[in-house]
Structure 1
Amino acid sequence: MDVLSVWDQFEVPYIWTQMEYLLRILIAAFLGLLIGNERKNRNKSAGIRTHAIVALGAALMMVVSKYGFFDGYEADASRIAAQVVSGVGFLGAGVIFVRNNLVNGLTTAAGMWATAGVGLAMGSGMYVIGISSALLIIIMQFVMHKIAYFAKTASNGLINMTVMNKAGAVATIEQFLTGEHIEIAGLQIKKTKKDEIKLEFDVVFPPGLNQSAFMAKLAERDDVLTVSK
């Protein structure tokens, strides 16, 4: 097939074909925006712009892969699409980090990977599959956060406190924390005055713990002078 010149691509009927491809890319970007908005509302590192660009880029690459090599006779449209899947995997790895044996960002990374799939579906012209998949991702994320059983997950944090300097003060606080099913991952101790000890606990809060109520309970102890997290 002969290669179209620049001006040929702006003439009918080729211009309508180009506009249809552009529509696919725009819809993919909009779906990525919707998915990213849900992540932004959860205060995740990858939000609206990241997901929108991932979906737009995947759709663009799929359009180029499937229709950009029309002048060739043996073009494999799946090659670029396959590289998109693996490439987004490396991008998703950037939002995953481990702290105190807890993995954070895994759901966001999986969402970015799925968003790329939505973009590929839209780029290939599978409107029903692409739109339905995007809505399914959003519904799953929303429902999982609304249902208490799925929303309860462990979380890490820091607890800073000042306690009275007396025999067994640190051990007593440690026993209190473990009694509340809080895992102590690290501890820093600093003596500031003769009658005070500053403690900084690196902890893992159990799933479903009301942290505000716990901090209030901790502040009510007679041996605790100040507490914050």
Structure 2
Amino acid sequence: MDWIEELRVLPGVLYAMALGGAIGFERELKDRPAGFRTHMLVAGTAALLLGLSRMVLEDGQYGGKGLQIDPLRLVEAVIAGVSFIGAGTIFASRSGESVQGITTAASLLAVAAIGITVGFRYYVLALAITALTLAVLTVLRALERRAVRSIEGDQGRGG
């Protein structure tokens, strides 16, 4: 395989990193345990692994030699790896009253899925999922805070 052919995967990896970076930037602004670079790397790695599997399947060097790659197995491997990283972002307080980092762990899973989507060359879908993820992390958070303040205000008025 010509080295130029190998570079075909690179734009997808860069695109996935940009999308993951957008979500990671939001996490970074909130000073969460996994931020900009981590989200970029997770999304880029997922896209690379799927792109690499496609490339190997298309490579004549391996064709006809019984090589089979199940893309869903690669998806499972990516998810398992990201789950390990995500678990490292979750912390329980010593008192056991609260758990922190679950949203960041979920955002890492989301960027892995975005990277997988890019790896399968569904670029518009990946962009849409990125926008939805950012909406969940920002818009829903603002609505959640507003609802809590409203409830606390009602309780303070005896109502």
Which has a greater percent of strand? 1
Matches within 5 A, 1:25-104: 25-70=13-58, 71-72=62-63, 73=66, 74-99=68-93, 100=95, 101-104=97-100
TM-score w.r.t. length of structure 1 = 0.57
Structure (1/2) with the larger helix percentage: 2
Identity, in percent, stands at: 33
With over 3 angstroms needed to count, the CA separation of the structure-2 counterparts of 1:68 and 1:208, relative to structure 1, is farther
Q: CA RMSD in A?
A: 2.3
Q: How does 1:1-229 map to 2 (within 5 A)?
A: 4=1, 8-10=2-4, 15=5, 18-70=6-58, 71-72=62-63, 73=66, 74-99=68-93, 100=95, 101-149=97-145, 152=148
Structure 1 runs (4+) greater than 6 angstroms displaced: none
Instruction: Tell me if structure 1 keeps the 8 A contact 2:28–2:35.
Output: yes
State the structure with bigger RCO (CA 8 A, min sep 6), 1 or 2. Answer: 2
TM-score normalised over the length of structure 2: 0.81
Structure (1 or 2) with the larger CA radius of gyration:
1
Question: Structure 1 unaligned runs (5+)?
Answer: 154-206, 210-229
Distance 1:35 1:83 in 2: 22
Aligned to 2:70, the other structure's residue is in SS state coil
Query: SS at the partner of 1:44?
Result: coil
